[in-house]
Structure formats: structure tokens, C-alpha cells
Structure 1
Amino acid sequence: MKVFTEKEVMMTYHMSDAIQDIENLFQNMDDVSQTSRVVIPTGEGAKSMLYMPCIHFGKQQGIIKITSITPENPQHNRPTTQANIVITDLKTGEHVASMDGSYLTRLRTGALSGIATKYMSRPDSKTLGMIGTGGMAYEQLLGNLEVRPIEKVLLYNRTSEKAHAFKARIADKHPSIEFEVVSTVTELVRQSDIINCQTQSTSPVFNANDIQSGTHINGIGSYRPEMKEMDNRLFPTASQIVFDDLEGVKEEAGEFIEADKQGLFSFDHHDDDLKGVSLNGKIQRNNEDITIFKCVGAAHFDLAVALGTWEKFNKNHN
């Protein structure tokens, strides 16, 4: 078995690769088989272990991603989420590779937002608002930059020092973009063409009444029923709501679970998913429409980026 560190993965596999590989997988989903993720709580709050298996029969390869979530880790200068992905050759049963999955998880999640932004936001969107500047934020930024001509990025974090630290870390990497830390979410929301939410909040991080016509929103932070980062009063006014994985959203996305119970939204009358949007190549929207993408993650997205990384490793070393 070959073992690849996060640094090696980061040097080999990038956002453009992830977006391409996920969209390619959408065209071959009949070859993919997966089961529901297994989540085992290991302590208070979000502390847990996650196990996500998936198989690609066409490529005769399978993966399992093992993820640990340890919310108190940042206090000890360790990441909250850590992951590892094992790749298996189905022909021989050999476990051929193990790679750090933390970066790949961030990358595939950013790629999903990027794909949603590519098809659902206004093509001339230039201002990106980012609510939450934690561990998932940078790849969310990269996903949007890959598909839209972003000129300005507004940053908000509940702890403003973290937003300033994020800006200091990334501004030099993107000298053509203006980065600004704002003091209120309202200021961010009213100026943004695209809004990205990546928080673990249990209450809405923005007010639905502040959302401007024509805005596209990516919600990627709430992945447990008690988490609700988007204001679900916005849902009835959205022209299009798209999920990465409908069954996952039904079980995990708190704002949509609550909205379904309150009659603001109905799972029974909803089947729009990112695969359909990608295969269609566009959605029907005008410049005033509000669009929403909700992501909770699924194993086949990890399959796409893990096998893509493995293929690049093999190509580069042959």
C-alpha cells in the first residue's frame, strides 16, 4: 500500500481537477454503488466518527473515508476534522493506497459549491460574501474563484480576529482580488452577488429580509439536524433550491428539516440535485432570482476526488 500525505496530495491535485472529476462522475453514476454513511457519536456535541464507503464498478475501485470530528481540537492547535481515504482494487482485493483525506474533503466541498455557482449564479457575479472563515473557508473561496470573475471578497466571522487572520493568510495569494473584513453580516449580505455560508451555527447566520434580488447562496456548514445556518424564511422566495444529495439533506440539514415541518418547503415536491443541474448545463433564472445550493456531502464525491488523485499520482510517476 502506498501512503500519501496531505502535502503530497495538495501538490498533485487541485480545484480544477476536483470540479472536472465530480462533473465527469455525474455522467457515470450507474457505475457507482454506495451505502449510507455510518456516524458514531464519540462525545458531546458534534464529536463523532464517520465512515463513508463507495465503489466504482466501471473502474473496479472502491474507497472508504474515515473521518474524525473533534470540536475541542483548535484549543490544542489541532484541526477539528481529520480524514483518511483508503483505495481498494476490486479485481485483487488489495488496498492499494491510503491518502490524507482532510484536504480532499475540503476540496470536494469547495468544488461542489463551485459547480453550483457555475450553473446557478449570475455569470457577471463579482462580489463574494463569506460567512465563516474556519477550516473549510479557503477551498470554498477557490471553488467560487474557479468559475466566476470575482473581484471583491467580503469576510465575516463571529470572532472578527479570525476573519482578519484569514485575510492576512490568503490576500497575498490572490493579489488581483480586494478582500475586506466587515463588522456585520447585514453589510456583507446586502453587497454580495454570491454568499457562502460555512459555519456550525444552530441559528440562522443572516436575515432573509436582507438578501438582495439576484443573489446565489451556497450553504455547506450545517450537517446535523440541530444546525441551521440559513434563514429558512428565504426558501419560499427562492426560484431554485438544489441539493448535492437529497437523502442526506433529509437526514442532516437542520434548516430544511425544520422548513419541511413548518410548511415553508416540501421534500415531497423536490428533486432538484446538483447532478441534474450539471448534466443539463444550466438552470432557468433571471437577474432578479434568488437561488440556493445546500451541501451535506456524500461518499461518491469523495470517490471522485480520491480516484482522481490516485490517477494523477500514477500518471506523474510512470
Structure 2
Amino acid sequence: MKVLSAEDVRSTVPMPAAIDAVRAAFLELAAGNFVLPARQSFGDGAVLVMSAYHAPSGTAVVKKIGIALDQVPAIRATVIWTGDGEQLVADGTSITTLRTGAVVGVATDLLAVPDATRLSLLGTGAQAADQVRAVLAVRRIAEVTVTGRDLHRATALAKTLAAEYPEVNFTPGTSINDSIAAAHIVCCATSSSTPLFTADALPDRVHVNAIGAFRPTMRELPRDLLATASTVMVDQVEAAMEESGEIIDAVTSGTLAQSALLELGTALTGHPEPTGRTVFKSVGVGPQDWAIAKALAER
């Protein structure tokens, strides 16, 4: 059995490789090659257990996640991957942030304008940095605004990312509306229970990713954005209708038809041509963890 630390995960699977792995996994998901048991949730989402079985290869992944939003880090997880006669146990916290960033990279590559140069990051928690790394892997971003409630945290994150990407201009701040007013891409990575902005605060052409809200009671996106977006894409409709507060609210209120939701795997096979405002909402699915664990095992 191989045991891999967070440092092992990061050094073995860089973000571009993670994006490629997650993209391939969603194509496999669209082809019907995964068995996905329902995610188990305990203690109002404080403990989650996810699993995925890839039938063609006979490989499987199981992840246990502990979530405590009042602690740092807020997410603690362990991933177990089995296949090809071996078992791998890896730090699931790093895999979770990496694969969540990677799926945003896949979605952004599909829906954002090819010449996007301005990114707005909303949130300064554990998931935030990989959102930026993923977008920078698929677009030539020149300017990034890092927005959080605490200016000191926003400044610290901006400095950390600036050290990684010295060619990019990072600006910290606390005003969401100022941050998104001229953005080409917006990444929401917060634990908000209410929408972060209204649709009229956004440019007419913008792509918005939302990955922070993972419970039915949480919401980062406003109804009016979901009602007017040309494309609302999710990782999986079933998962979104169980766990995404904004998608559940929009569908049950009649703001958005469930049939209008586009799954990422389907989009990868159809190559959508988005216009206006586009949205990608992710709650995370097992094949993402499988993809990173498989890449770890192969490398």
C-alpha cells in the first residue's frame, strides 16, 4: 500500500495534468462507465463519504471528508484508490482542492471567451488558490482581483499567488461589485448562505464558476443570473439537485427549468458555443477524485 502526503499529491500531479485527468473522467462519466453510489452525508454535511467505480478498468475510489467551516483548514479528507492489484491512500484535502480547481479549469476552457484576461476571485479560503491556478492554466490571464471579507487575508493570498505567477497583476480588495464589474471570468469559492451579488453587477459577457456552496441551504449565485444566463452547466444534474442550494432554489421557484441544465460530460462531447453570461456550478462528483487518484497511481 502506498501512502501519499499533500506534498506528494502536489508534486506528482500539477494543475495542467489534473485538468487533463478530470476532463477525461467526465467523458468517461458521459459514456456511462462509472457506477456512482449516492453520496452519504452525516451531521448536516459535517461528514461526507463519496465513492466511484470505473467499470472498464475495475478501479475504484472512496473519499471521506470532514467539514468544519469554523476551523482551518475547513476540509479534512482521506482518499483510498484501488486497482491493478495495488492500493493507494492519499491526503484527500489536497486532492479535493486540486480536483475542484481542475473541474473549473475544464468548464472555463469550454465557456469563457478565448481572449479572457481578467479574473475575479471571490473568497480566500482553502479552495481559492486552486481556482486561480486552474483558470491560469487554460487562459492568458493578466489581472486577478482577490476579494474577501478580511482585507488582510485577501492581501496574503494575493501575495502568495503573485510569487507563483509574477507575470500576473494581483489586486486584493473587499468590494465584490468593484471586483466583478469588468471581469471576464468570476470564481466564487465562499461558504455564503446568500447570493454574493446581483446579475446586473456583472458585465454582459462573463463566465461565472461557483464551487463554494455545497449544501441546499447555501447560495453563492443569484436567481436572476441563473434565469438569464445563456448556459447553466453542472457537473451532474442529480448531484446538483440534491446539494446545490442555488440550483435547487432556481428550479423549485420556476426560475430555471431542470431540463435546461447542461452536464459537463455532455458539453465536452458537444462543444457548446456560449454567448452572454455563462455559469458553471459544481458540487463535486466521485469521478473527479478517481481521476486524480488514478493519475497519482500512474505517476
TM-score (norm 1): 0.90
Contact 2:3 2:88 in 1 (8 A): yes
Does 1:111 pair with 2:102?
A: yes
- Mapped partners of 1:152, 1:164: distance in 2: 15
Q: Cα gap change, 1:189/1:271 in structure 2, threshold over 3 Å: closer, same or farther?
A: closer
Partner of residue 65 from structure 1, selected from 59, 63, 66? 63
SS in 2 for 1:39: strand
SS in 2 for 1:122: coil
| Larger CA deviation: 97-106 vs 271-280 | 271-280
Partner of residue 301 from structure 1, selected from 288, 292, 297? 288
Partner of residue 35 from structure 1, selected from 8, 12, 37? 37
SS in 1 for 2:41: strand
The residue identity in structure 1 corresponding to 2:39 is R
Cα distance per residue 1:195-239 (max 9 Å; x no partner) = 000001001111221111111000111110110111111112111
1:262 paired residue number: 253
Partner of residue 79 from structure 2, selected from 85, 107, 111? 85
For 1:276-315, list aligned pairs within 5 A.
276-280=266-270, 282-286=271-275, 289-312=276-299
2:191 paired residue number: 200
- Mapped partners of 2:269, 2:36: distance in 1: 21
Q: Cα gap change, 1:97/1:228 in structure 2, threshold over 3 Å: closer, same or farther?
A: same
Contact 1:225 1:254 in 2 (8 A): yes
**What's the CA shift for 1:9?**
1.3
- Mapped partners of 1:275, 1:215: distance in 2: 21
Please give the root-mean-square deviation of Cα atoms over the aligned residues, in Å. Answer: 1.4
- Mapped partners of 2:15, 2:130: distance in 1: 8
- Mapped partners of 2:212, 2:95: distance in 1: 16
Does 1:124 pair with 2:115?
A: yes
The residue identity in structure 1 corresponding to 2:80 is V
The residue identity in structure 1 corresponding to 2:282 is C
- Mapped partners of 1:131, 1:102: distance in 2: 20
The residue identity in structure 2 corresponding to 1:161 is H
Contact 2:27 2:268 in 1 (8 A): no
The residue identity in structure 1 corresponding to 2:55 is F
Cα distance per residue 1:226-267 (max 9 Å; x no partner) = 101111111121111100111111011111211122221121
1:138 paired residue number: 129
SS in 2 for 1:73: coil
**What's the CA shift for 1:147?**
0.5
**What's the CA shift for 1:161?**
1.5
The residue identity in structure 2 corresponding to 1:311 is E
- Mapped partners of 1:63, 1:204: distance in 2: 33
SS in 1 for 2:262: coil
- Mapped partners of 1:140, 1:242: distance in 2: 17
* Structure 2: segments with no counterpart, 5+ residues: none
- Mapped partners of 2:148, 2:127: distance in 1: 13
The residue identity in structure 1 corresponding to 2:272 is I
1:10 paired residue number: 10
- Mapped partners of 1:256, 1:27: distance in 2: 23
The residue identity in structure 1 corresponding to 2:263 is D
SS in 2 for 1:291: strand
* Structure 1: segments with no counterpart, 5+ residues: 313-318
Contact 2:63 2:79 in 1 (8 A): yes
Partner of residue 157 from structure 1, selected from 130, 148, 166? 148
- Mapped partners of 1:27, 1:128: distance in 2: 27
Aligned residue pairs total: 297
The residue identity in structure 2 corresponding to 1:49 is V
